[in-house]
């Protein structure tokens, strides 16, 4: 059985050339829905229908307006289509909006299409031949020479079967939309239905949206939920990429939704005010100066943009260059997205472009800017990954982050990184973190150098906290990258970790003979005292130690686990402390709570020690104080 495929077919052509009538002849649906459209006999807004081809392939049909005043609506509809249907009236031929619509189609990179000469019943055979020759000559100057042309009459249905056959061929040659990855639905309509609520419609560019999915209204970042998913007025469990979709959005006010926004599901899509792009002007466009303004159409968005050329001060008609495109409003682009540029006044299509970097840093002109964009636009997966990792240095990127920034599949990136040896993969809590190979080596060297320097300066205290190592590496002390690096170096046996402190694996606290003898006396004193250990002042007297030596010894014991500091002047041996911890757990599991007096009596110790221990257990997460008693925390030090 042939798998059902979903593609988008969009009309194009001059006003009154019969686009809407042809769609009705193909589908039986009148896509003019506004009273004004029916009264004036022209399309103003986008119209929609569904066409099932003989093979079972379903085409979501978008009927666009032909009048020059409504080209904005045409652009909104044309974004996301797979196959164009150029409609040219037999009694009129190629006209201004024919040319403008085809320029838009070319700028959007729509791969293929079919030309239908409509109203064939109104002219003779000779006229049909002349119109076809006119169309062929016109197409020869576009990206679509040789596009199949057929004649049709919407009135008599003559030629409709042949047109369906040509559409079938075009569909067979088309690639279905990718349903994996994040979903993006540019909103082209928003309205309220009584008893249902707010409804938005659009063509699903990528991914899938299912009933009850958590989605986000972008660029505002408003969390909401998709209910009552429909495709061409039919309820479905999930809507796939390439379908005309209606969603009932809950959790967001109708007043906050407007055409030009996007409904997004999934990770990796963030709003931005600017993109780096490759732009091209049409041959008939005016010369543009650096910083020129234009209307940018991306999906259903229509916004003013400023064009900052990367390598020149002027862009001539028919020319192309890299540019940073800056908007006053945020939008949600992805690498490879196409957009249209129109002049501010008079309003006409002047060119278009392709997004290369959806989240660039603000920059000016120069060879370095151009070279970077050359790599991002046409480099291999390995070259693009290497560039992005270099830019992230000294930090790293996860595979998901790399895929999000490059818009390349994770599988291809993994293979490219492994083959090229460009990166080092370090295990992290959420998956491997990739570092540029040179940056990874530099970070390891800085960590070991910092620890070597610390050991040289204070042999008795050779450890450093993560904060100190962060200063040495330039990484965030609490961040994923440093934590992953340190954990990996510990696992490799290069460094050692004791609590929150790090040393070289070869480093042992170098105590003097006097200090080692003192340590033995301190351990013996703590073990003998059990639940009622001496204070540090008493320890100094009992063990016969000076203050500085005792401080070094106690720090070493704390780092090595030989003693636990309960409060600044009180240390416990591990055995008695574990006995006290277990007593708290046993008592609470039997009676749910424990008072200070009950704890004191259970261990046979003074109130001073009982209070110090209970406060320590509170801080450590074992217990929680409520009025004059404690209870076990749900997740504490319970083993």
599: domain CATH number is 1.10.10.10
Q: Are strands 208-210 and 214-218 parallel, antiparallel or unpaired?
A: unpaired
101: tokens are: 């619509």
Task: From residue 551, give the alpha-carbon distance in Å to each of 246, 451, 530, 557, 585.
Answer: 70, 21, 21, 10, 32
Same domain, 193 and 74: no
335 and 277 housed in the same domain: yes
**Which tokens in the block code for residue 42?**
């022209």
Residue 557 lies in a domain: yes
Answer yes or no: is 532 within a domain.
yes
Q: What tokens were used for 173?
A: 């040659």
Chosen domain end from 119, 143, 172: 172
If one counts every other C-beta atom within 10 angstroms of the C-beta of residue 153, the result is 20
Last residue of a domain, one of 131, 147, 172: 172
Dihedral of alpha carbons 446, 447, 452, 455, sign = positive
Residues 95, 127 within the same domain = yes
Residue 438 within a domain: no
Structure tokens at 261: 């926004």
Per-residue pLDDT tens for 211-255?
999 999 999 999 999 988 998 778 999 998 888 889 999 988 888
Position 495 in a domain: no
Domain harbouring 17, CATH code: 3.40.50.300
Q: Are residues 415 and 555 in the same domain?
A: no
Whole-prediction pTM value? 0.71
Same domain as 38, residue 142:
yes
- Sign of torsion over alpha carbons 383, 387, 392, 394: positive
Whether the CB-CB separation of 370 and 310 falls below 8 Å is answered with: yes
Whether residue 470 is contained in a domain is answered as: no
Give the model's pLDDT for residue 637: 41
What's the residue count for the chain?
Answer: 639
Domain that holds residue 142: 6-172
Residue that finishes a domain, picked among 384, 419, 454: 419
Select from 601, 603, 606, 599 the least CA-distant residue to 622: 599
Q: Does residue 75 share a domain with residue 188?
A: no
Q: Is there a contact between 310 and 269 (Cβ–Cβ < 8 Å)?
A: no
Distances from the Cα of 145 to the Cα of 79, 108, 111, angstroms: 21, 17, 12
Maximum separation of any 2 CA atoms in the chain, in Å: 119
Token pair 């093979």 is found at 55
Residue 490 placed within a domain: no
Sign of torsion, CA 480 481 487 491? Answer: positive
Please state, in angstroms and as integers, the Cα–Cα distance from residue 291 to each residue in 158, 278, 297, 325, following that order.
Answer: 52, 15, 18, 9
Domain membership flag for residue 430: no
Please state whether 41 falls in left (phi above 0), alpha (psi between -120 and 50) or beta.
left
250 in the same domain as 112: no
Number of domains in the chain: 6
Tell me: do 158 and 13 sit in the same domain: yes
Question: Are 287 and 316 in contact, with CB atoms under 8 Å apart?
Answer: yes
Pick the closest to residue 338 from 374, 302, 298, 294 (CA basis). Answer: 298
Weakly modelled stretches of the chain, pLDDT under 50: 1-2, 33-45, 66-68, 70, 636-639
d(CA 86, CA 235): 31
**Do 75 and 119 belong together in one domain?**
yes
What pLDDT is stored for residue 510 in this prediction?
Answer: 65
CATH number for the domain that contains residue 191: 2.40.30.10
Could you tell me if 15 and 163 lie in one domain? yes
Cα 606 to chain center, whole Å?
A: 58
Same domain, 11 and 138: yes
Assess if residue 146 is contained within a domain. yes
Task: Say if residue 28 is in the same domain as residue 131.
Answer: yes
């Amino acid at each position: 059985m042939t798998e059902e495929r979903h593609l988008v077919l969009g009309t194009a052509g001059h006003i009154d050339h019969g686009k809407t009538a042809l769609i009705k002849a193909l589908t039986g649906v009148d896509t003019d829905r506004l009273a004004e459209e029916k009264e004036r006999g022209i399309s103003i807004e986008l119209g929609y229908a569904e066409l099932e081809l003989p093979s079972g392939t379903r085409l979501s049909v978008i009927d666009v307006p032909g009048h020059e005043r409504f080209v904005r609506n045409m652009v909104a509809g044309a974004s996301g289509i797979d196959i164009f249907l150029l409609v040219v009236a037999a009694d009129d031929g190629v006209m201004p909006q024919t040319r403008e619509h085809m320029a838009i189609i070319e700028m959007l990179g729509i791969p293929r299409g079919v030309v239908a000469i409509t109203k064939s019943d109104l002219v003779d055979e000779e006229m049909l031949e002349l119109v076809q020759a006119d169309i062929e000559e016109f197409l020869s100057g576009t990206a679509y020479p040789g596009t199949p042309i057929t004649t049709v009459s919407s009135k008599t249905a003559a030629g409709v079967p042949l047109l369906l056959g040509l559409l079938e061929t075009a569909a067979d040659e088309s690639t279905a939309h990718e349903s994996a990855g994040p979903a993006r639905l540019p909103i082209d309509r928003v309205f309220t239905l009584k008893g249902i609520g707010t409804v938005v419609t659009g063509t699903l560019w990528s991914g899938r949206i299912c009933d009850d999915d958590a989605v986000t209204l972008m660029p505002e970042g408003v969390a909401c939920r998709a209910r009552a998913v429909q495709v061409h007025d039919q309820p479905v469990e999930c809507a796939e990429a390439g379908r005309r979709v209606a969603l009932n959005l809950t959790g967001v006010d109708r007043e906050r939704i407007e055409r030009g926004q996007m409904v997004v599901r999934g990770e990796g899509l963030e709003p931005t005010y600017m993109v780096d792009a490759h732009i091209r002007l049409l041959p008939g466009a005016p010369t543009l100066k650096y910083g020129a303004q234009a209307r940018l159409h991306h999906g259903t968005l229509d916004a003013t943009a400023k064009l900052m050329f990367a390598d020149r001060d002027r862009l001539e008609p028919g020319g192309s260059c890299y540019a940073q495109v800056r908007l006053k409003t945020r939008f949600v682009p992805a690498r490879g997205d196409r957009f249209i540029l129109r002049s501010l006044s008079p309003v006409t299509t002047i060119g278009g472009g392709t997004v290369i970097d959806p989240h660039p840093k603000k920059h000016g002109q120069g060879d370095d800017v151009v070279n970077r964009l050359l790599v991002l636009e046409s480099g291999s997966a390995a070259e693009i990954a290497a560039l992005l990792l270099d830019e992230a240095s000294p930090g790293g990127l996860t595979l998901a982050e790399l895929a999000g920034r490059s818009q390349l599949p994770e599988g291809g990136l993994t293979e490219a990184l492994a083959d090229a040896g460009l990166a080092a993969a370090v295990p992290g809590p959420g998956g491997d973190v990739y570092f540029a190979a040179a940056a990874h080596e530099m970070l390891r060297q800085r960590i070991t150098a910092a620890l070597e320097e610390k050991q040289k300066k204070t042999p008795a205290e050779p450890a450093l906290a993560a904060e100190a190592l962060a200063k040495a590496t330039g990484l965030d002390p609490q961040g994923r990258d440093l934590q992953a690096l340190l954990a990996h170096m510990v696992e490799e046996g290069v460094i050692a970790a004791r609590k929150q402190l790090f040393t070289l694996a070869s480093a042992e606290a170098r105590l003097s003979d006097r200090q080692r003898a003192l340590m033995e006396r301190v351990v013996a004193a703590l073990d003998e005292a059990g639940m009622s250990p001496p204070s540090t002042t008493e320890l100094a007297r009992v063990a016969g130690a000076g203050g500085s030596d005792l401080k070094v010894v106690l720090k070493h014991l704390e780092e090595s686990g030989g003693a636990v500091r309960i409060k600044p002047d009180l240390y416990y041996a591990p055995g008695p402390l574990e006995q006290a911890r277990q007593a708290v757990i046993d008592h609470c599991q039997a009676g749910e709570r424990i008072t200070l007096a009950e704890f004191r009596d259970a261990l046979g110790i003074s109130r001073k020690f009982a209070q110090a221990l209970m406060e320590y257990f509170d801080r450590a997460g074992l217990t929680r104080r409520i009025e004059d008693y404690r209870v076990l925390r749900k997740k504490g030090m319970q083993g």
